[in-house]
Chains A and B, each alone.
Chain A
Amino acid sequence: EIVMTQSPATLSVSPGERATLSCRASQSVSSNLAWYQQKPGQAPRLLIYGASTRATGIPARFSGSGSGTEFTLTISSLQSEDFAVYYCQQYNNWLLTFGGGTKVEIK
């Protein structure tokens, strides 16, 4: 099983600032890495797939990078609606795994 580790667990950021979230895989997942956003009481929403491709309708302030075992999600200028929990997920093999999540909270 590929273990996905996200850091930090909680990120305190002021509106308008940049947020950088990390995700590490226990073995290479190539670029088969997705990021999801989840708000309280809602289902996860796909933000990024293929490590760096934004899903349909996702604003350009969200960007993803990395390959292999190290990945980053960057939110360039946090808006009020971006405060949420973010999960990474690898889909490189049939045993799909998620990270533990990073909560982005208002500083």
Chain B
Amino acid sequence: AQSVTQLGSHVSVSEGALVLLRCNYSSSVPPYLFWYVQYPNQGLQLLLKYTSAATLVKGINGFEAEFKKSETSFHLTKPSAHMSDAAEYFCAVSFQNTGFQKLVFGTGTRLLVSP
């Protein structure tokens, strides 16, 4: 079955520390992969995406992610956390057999940033 898994429902870091949010997918063919961020009571904002071009993808707000086919992963990183990064982060995938249209989301990781 095609699916996406986010390890860790909560991640806590100190301001200035490295942020690492994990995402793994299950699919026999490489999907398209996305990271979205959600602030309280708001919709989803696209951070970055992988759609079969460069495997290291840079997004907004200093975030980046690397597609690793051998590990079926697309982990999100940021070298130095800022207080404003505190939010819910969702990894999402779309698959070739659905025309890359329907997004399947992970359960989300809440990032907590302490001063």
The reply to whether chain A is a binding partner of chain B is no
* B interface, CB within 8 angstroms of A: none
